[in-house]
Structures are given as C-alpha cells and as structure tokens.
Amino acid sequence: MTLIIAASIALVVDQISKSLIRVYLPLGDSIALGPLKIRHVRNPGTAFGLISGKSWPLFVSTIVIFFLLLVVLWRWGGPGSRIFQVGMGLIVGGAVGNIIDRILQGSVVDFIDFSFWPVFNFADIAIVAGVIITLFVVAKETWKSEAEGA
C-alpha cells in the first residue's frame, strides 16, 4: 500500500506541475527566481535531457525497463520496509509521469532550471530520490545480513 501511495503522490505532483507549466508558461519562456529559473522546455531525451534525438528506441527501452522493474517488484518484493516501498513508489510514479508525457505529448515537459545542470521536472526528482532511497535500504539490508552472518 505504501508503494501505491508514494507512486500516486509522485505522479499527481508531476502531472499537475507539468499541466501548470503548459498552461501558464509559453514554450521557451522562463521566470527567474534567484538562482532557480522556471523555464518551459520540451525534452525528447531521458532524465536531465540525456540521450536526445532517439525517440522511438528511447520510448521502447523506457517501457521495457519500466515493466522489468514491475516484474522485479512483483517477484522479488525486496525488503518489506516502508522506506523501501516509498523509494520504489517514487521510481514508479516518476517513470509513469514521464511515460505519460511521451505518449500524450511526444516529449517530456521539463521546467526546473538551475543553469549549471540540465533542466528537469518533478518526475526526475522522484526517480532520483527513489533510487537513492532504494539503494540505501538494499545496502543497509546487505550490511545487516553480512554482520549477522559473521
């Protein structure tokens, strides 16, 4: 249940924020907020604008990776902790948010711009945070198992 809640929150925040950008900020325009700019761009690549220009192979590989992740979750389940479920939920919610954009828009709406890093969105934040949380939990469980076995 925790995974579904985390995924739903990530997806809703992502889709609402992208809708607001599409409606209120014309493509290419930006609003400066100190070191942060809110800049409406379309990203045909992956997270943070990587691997641009290869739309169909990228789309297919994204879908395949997403479904492999779901299979791993279903078969393995991973550590049962809530924090692990939150991490996986953030990854799933962020991935679904960007997949929805690719299907409906042909590209992903990005808008968070710190100038020193490629422009990104809340789905990207959710995915990165989810990966960090998940890796931390898996590493902790591994260390715990090794300590108990020693």
- Per-residue pLDDT of the chain (150 residues), as tens digits, is 888 999 999 999 999 999 999 999 999 999 999 999 999 999 886 555 555 555 566 667 667 776 777 666 666 566 678 998 899 899 999 999 998 998 898 889 999 999 998 999 999 999 999 989 988 888 887 787 777 775
In a domain, 68, yes or no: yes
In a domain, 53, yes or no: yes
pLDDT attached to residue 59: 62
In a domain, 140, yes or no: no
Active-site residue 113, yes or no?
no
pLDDT attached to residue 146: 74
In a domain, 58, yes or no: yes
Of the candidates 14, 101, 110, 113, the residue annotated as catalytic is 110
pTM of the predicted protein model: 0.80
Domain residues for 37? Answer: 2-135
In a domain, 42, yes or no: yes
Of the candidates 14, 101, 113, 124, the residue annotated as catalytic is 124
Active-site residue 124, yes or no?
yes
pLDDT attached to residue 33: 96
In a domain, 150, yes or no: no
CA distances 95 to 29, 84, 121, Å, are: 26, 17, 12
Instruction: Report the domain count for the chain.
Output: 1
Residues 27, 11, 61, 86, CA torsion sign: positive
